């Protein structure tokens, strides 16, 4: 039976001027890339706590807590730390969001380097949603991608997650494909 439809929104990575990012009122928040792979692994439990904010239909991989290290190893092999962003709420010091991209190992440029990624997951605590932070994380991620020679982006988004679809379309992504996620039922 049909569990969900996932849209593939794709397009070029847009060059973002860092001065543009300064226009956002984000004085209560700090975005940062981890300094090491060990630091990324230290955020594993927080990543799973943030996953509880996803709608159930957006969770298509069961048991992701067992795959976190696999995701990180994949990013380490084909990408780099710039693909991982955490969002800290300065008032409490808590991590309240994150944005993970994963590299596309099937696309290289003329210099034989990877130049494509997938905006894989964006997570925000419920009380921090609706403040433009998802858009800010998206733009911050785009700047990091551009600065690291990534020129193409795709984003898998469950078709009922309207906020993420709006962000992707605002960023200039176009709906290219639809993937049907099926669930076997007896």
- Coil, strand, or helix at residue 127? helix
Token pair of 106 as six digits: 């099937």
End-to-end Cα distance, the chain: 10
Pick one of 3.40.718.10, 3.50.50.60, 3.40.630.30, 3.40.50.720 as the CATH number of 16-151: 3.40.630.30
Taking CA atoms, 6 is separated from 54, 102, 135, 182, in Å, by: 14, 17, 20, 11
Residue spans of alpha helices (H) in the chain:
18-21, 37-42, 44-51, 68-78, 133-147, 162-170
Question: Which of 106, 125, 128, 126 lies closest to 115 in space, CA to CA?
Answer: 106
* Angstrom distance (rounded) from CA 144 to CA 157: 21
Residue extents of the structural domains in the chain: 16-151
Per residue of the chain (186 residues), what is the pLDDT tens digit? 888 888 888 999 988 887 777 766 678 999 999 999 999 999 998 888 887 766 555 555 555 667 888 989 999 999 999 999 999 999 999 999 999 999 998 888 899 888 999 988 888 999 998 888 888 898 899 999 999 999 999 888 888 878 778 888 888 889 999 989 888 887
What is this structure's pTM? 0.85
């Amino acid at each position: 039976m049909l569990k969900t439809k996932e849209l593939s929104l794709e397009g070029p990575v847009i060059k973002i001027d860092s001065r543009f990012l300064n226009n956002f009122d984000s004085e209560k928040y700090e975005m940062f890339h981890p300094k090491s792979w060990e630091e990324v692994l230290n955020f594993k439990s927080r990543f799973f706590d943030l996953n509880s904010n996803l709608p159930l239909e957006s969770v298509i991989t069961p048991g992701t807590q067992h795959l976190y290290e696999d995701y990180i190893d994949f990013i380490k092999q084909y990408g780099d730390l710039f693909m991982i962003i955490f969002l800290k709420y300065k008032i409490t010091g808590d991590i309240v969001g994150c944005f993970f991209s994963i590299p596309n190992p099937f696309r290289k440029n003329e210099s034989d380097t990877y130049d494509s990624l997938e905006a894989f997951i964006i997570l925000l605590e419920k009380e921090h949603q609706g403040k433009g932070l998802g858009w800010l994380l998206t733009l911050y991620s785009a700047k990091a991608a551009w600065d690291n020679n990534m020129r193409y982006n795709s984003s898998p988004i469950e078709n009922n997650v309207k906020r993420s679809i709006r962000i992707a379309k605002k960023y200039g992504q176009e709906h290219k494909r639809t993937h049907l996620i099926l669930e076997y039922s007896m």
